[in-house]
Amino acid sequence: MIDRPAEHDAARHWEHVANEWTDWARAPEHDAYWYYREAFREFLPGPGVATLEIGCGEGRIARDLTALGHHVTATDISPSLVAAAEAAGSEQRYMVADATSLPFEDRAFDRVVAYNMLMDVPDMPAAVAEAARVLADDGVLTISIVHPFVDRGSFADAEPDAPFVVPGTYFGRSHFIGTESRAGRTMHFAGWSYPLEDYVAALQAAGLAITSLREPRPAHLNGRDPARARWERMPLFLWINAVPRR
């Protein structure tokens, strides 16, 4: 039984579900990540001198970054997740850190990656501003988020052609709590949903300009998971590369 944290206590939530998330994330082809992994690796800029991953979780993105030749420093607000990443040998340097108050000097990294974590912080603009602060003048910030539209609705059923229904409004900041169960595993999610313009406004306020944007489709389905075929009709994720306007 998960003891629900207060709305703004993201650290407590992720510490409570750290083991749950590690099991969920590491099961091959269990999480949606596995159907987008290769496309995301291609979307990433090539390695630079130093790469920071903000919100590393159990380390799967850091492991991919390391395999691609990046020199990775990984941070997360959950000590248990940082420990899990370190135990898996995911990267070169590990640190428990709040995304809105990173313990690094200005312009310390020429690559910064925030994979599906900006939805986890109560102050998304502050996290974007910190990412921009530690980004070098010639650096690239790569963001993945659950598509802003997805959190505001749901499919009517599990059929591939099910309609997507938005019962309320797309606009405004909204806190969400949800549970997903699949193949004997259960994951408790919690976070904040923002419309796309809020993300763009945060990037703009932080002095960043978008250079590329993708709404990827899942790959390698081959009829194995008909429910995931719904995401061939509308995007589950949104990817952004942004650079300083300095």
pTM above 0.95, yes or no: no
What does the pLDDT read at residue 59? Answer: 94
Closest CA to 214 of 36, 33, 29: 36
Any idea what DSSP says for residue 5? P
What does the pLDDT read at residue 6? Answer: 42
3-class state of residue 148 by DSSP:
coil
φ, ψ for residue 118, nearest 5 deg: -65, -20
One-letter amino acid of 127: A
Neighbours of 180 (CB within 10 A): 12
What does the pLDDT read at residue 244? Answer: 98
Instruction: Report angle CA 87, 30, 18 to the nearest 5 degrees.
Output: 40
What does the pLDDT read at residue 96? Answer: 96
Q: In Å, how far are 81, 160, 219, 220 from 223, measured between CA atoms?
A: 33, 11, 11, 9
Tell me the three-class secondary structure of 182-245, residue by residue: ECCEEEEEEEEECCHHHHHHHHHHCCEEEEEEECCCCCCCCCCCHHHHHHHCCCCEEEEEEEEC
Tokens read off for 167: 């019962």
What does the pLDDT read at residue 24? Answer: 86
Tell me the three-class secondary structure of 42-84, residue by residue: HHCCCCCCCEEEECCCCCHHHHHHHHCCCCEEEEECCHHHHHH
What does the pLDDT read at residue 223? Answer: 58
Which positions of the chain have pLDDT values less than 70? 1-8, 221-226, 246
- Give residue-wise pLDDT tens across range 41-74: 999 999 999 999 999 999 999 999 999 999 999 9
What does the pLDDT read at residue 27? Answer: 87
What does the pLDDT read at residue 220? Answer: 72
Q: What is the DSSP string of 90-140?
A: --SEEEE-BTTB-SS-TT-EEEEEEES-TTSSS-HHHHHHHHHHTEEEEEE
What does the pLDDT read at residue 237? Answer: 96
Domains of the chain with CATH codes: 10-244 (3.40.50.150)
What does the pLDDT read at residue 232? Answer: 85
What does the pLDDT read at residue 221? Answer: 64
Let me know if 224 is exposed, middle or buried by CB neighbors in 10 A (0-12, 13-18, 19+).
exposed
What does the pLDDT read at residue 1? Answer: 29
Spatial distance between the Cα atoms of 27 and 188, rounded to a whole number of angstroms: 16
